[in-house]
Amino acid sequence: MQNIRFVAAKAREVSQRLGLLSTEAKNEILFKIADAIEENSPAILKANAKDISAGKRNSLSEGLLDRLLLTKDRILAIAADVRKVAGLEDFVGKIIESRQLKNELYLKRVRVPLGVVGIIYESRPNVTVDAATLCLKSGNAVILKGGSDAINSNRALVKIIQNVLKEVSFLEPPARLQDAVQLVDTADRNVLKELLTLRDFIDVVIPRGGRNLINFVVENSRIPIIETGASVVHTYVHADAEIKKAVKIILNAKLRRVSICNTTDCLLIHQSIAAPLLKEFVAELSKNPYCASHLELRADKKSFDILRKLSAPQNFKLTIKKAQEKDYSTEFLDYILAVKTVKSLDEAIDHISIHSLKHSEAIITEDEAAAQKFLKTVDAACVYWNASTQFSDGGQFGLGAEIGISTQKLHVRGPFALEGLTSYKWVVQGSGQIRT
């Protein structure tokens, strides 16, 4: 069994030196990592193929297999994201504020790394690289605990990153920079439980995944937590919405990529617009045979009755089922969309407040007053007016690769990256002052 306490101790030791790396040194490391990922893409693809084969044997859903899959293009995109991180502002050492007191003490509030970050996540091997490079750029050591589904891919990626770190030498005396990125190389839950007790070595834990993973971390951790990832995302269509615009947004919010946390899970429709909206929705959906044949609608009685009466194009079959109550509290990560009609904006907001996990919520309306009420009332990290929820992403928000999407209110919220991986310290400079 892996000695997780030893791993954490090594991470703590090197973390105390990472703050000495210059921005130029960190950027050079990241460029080398990007190059190494591209150069070693055959080895990465070979490792990923093992994970995909195992996933199919374990009957992973199509959506989860998509989260797990690496392709040549996706590897190139991962390397490109690493280079983007290198080009981002370095917040470490940034002076947030400064002032001189009456006694001539000079005060500065300065951004500093968090220290050692533990990141626990599921399935997506790209998170391994995102987390490692964002932590390196922000001066943090990181302990990565990926899901067992992606164990071979994660091993290959971490090995590449550690090999780069072994070869660079920017600190004097030299430090074991490879200890700054470490992988918990086991699926044993007892090791994870022990990891969550190591408060002396790890400064913060970030769970990134479904509700079960996040609940496990919250219930077992003695380390401060930033909760990210779990979501039940809603898109509400108000009575006055432009139907064609609404359908375009809904289809993108659900189908652009079904396996990510910003995908709409539940479509709420004002009852006065339900019939024409669903008619246009089915007509547009029928133009994409792949999505149409895969998508399953789980509808309440009113929307179910409307959908069953719609005449669909020849050779077009849409799967429609009656919704169960649990469907409105489920993050599907699959080609499944819950549908519900509501009588008013207030009913839509009430439904969201009950079922939301405070990730991303959207309203489609031409009524500014209705939009403002929704945006001000709905409690979520990201709220949208007339736009797809799939924009909840650090890259789309201009943050570069993200560490996650925080669904809590302290210390970061929504997509966060480099700045969210820093804290601050007060630096006080005097000339012999004493307090009387």
CATH code for position 280: 3.40.309.10
Determine, yes or no, domain membership for 184: yes
Determine, yes or no, domain membership for 435: no
Looking at the structure, do residues 327 and 208 belong to the same domain, yes or no?
no
Please, is 56 exposed, middle or buried when counting C-beta atoms within 10 Å of its C-beta (0-12, 13-18, 19+)? Answer: exposed
Determine, yes or no, domain membership for 256: yes
Looking at the structure, do residues 178 and 287 belong to the same domain, yes or no?
no
- What is the pLDDT, as a whole number, of residue 216? 94
Positions in the chain whose pLDDT score sits under 70: 1, 311-315
CA distance 198 to 206: 14
Looking at the structure, do residues 218 and 359 belong to the same domain, yes or no?
no
Task: Map tokens 């009387």 to a residue.
Answer: 436
Looking at the structure, do residues 29 and 164 belong to the same domain, yes or no?
yes
Determine, yes or no, domain membership for 396: no
Answer for the pair 8, 14: CB distance below 8 angstroms, yes or no: no
Looking at the structure, do residues 135 and 27 belong to the same domain, yes or no?
yes
CATH code for position 215: 3.40.605.10
Residues 6+ positions from 217 with CB-CB distance below 8 Å: 120, 196, 205, 207, 225
- What is the pLDDT, as a whole number, of residue 297? 97
Helix-helix angle 23-39:41-57, to 10 degrees: 70
pLDDT in tens, 190-237: 999 999 999 999 999 999 988 899 999 999 999 999 998 789 999 999
Determine, yes or no, domain membership for 11: yes
* Chain mean position to CA 390: 12
10 Å Cβ neighbour count for 379? 12
Determine, yes or no, domain membership for 122: yes
Query: What's the structural domain count of the chain?
Result: 2
pLDDT in tens, 317-356: 789 999 999 999 999 999 999 999 999 999 999 999 999 9
Looking at the structure, do residues 198 and 259 belong to the same domain, yes or no?
no
Looking at the structure, do residues 15 and 91 belong to the same domain, yes or no?
yes
Looking at the structure, do residues 141 and 198 belong to the same domain, yes or no?
yes
Burial letters 399-424, b for 16+ CB under 10 A, else e = bbbbbbbbbeeeebbbbbbbebbbee
Looking at the structure, do residues 279 and 196 belong to the same domain, yes or no?
no
Beta bridge partners of 400: none
Boundaries of domain holding 185: 4-228+403-429
Looking at the structure, do residues 66 and 122 belong to the same domain, yes or no?
yes
* Chain mean position to CA 234: 17
pTM greater than the 0.85 cutoff:
yes
Complete DSSP assignment for 357-408: -SSEEEEE-S-HHHHHHHHHHS--SEEEESS-GGG-STTTTTSSS-SEEE-S
Sheet holding 106-113, edge to edge: 95-100, 106-113, 422-429
- E strands in 20-147: 95-100, 106-113, 116-121, 141-145
pLDDT in tens, 166-178: 999 888 888 899 9
pLDDT in tens, 96-116: 999 999 999 999 999 999 999
- What is the pLDDT, as a whole number, of residue 312? 65
Determine, yes or no, domain membership for 368: yes
Q: Among residues of the chain, what percentage have pLDDT more than 70? A: 99
10 Å Cβ neighbour count for 284? 15
Looking at the structure, do residues 78 and 160 belong to the same domain, yes or no?
yes
Answer for the pair 203, 117: CB distance below 8 angstroms, yes or no: yes
Determine, yes or no, domain membership for 109: yes
Looking at the structure, do residues 420 and 349 belong to the same domain, yes or no?
no
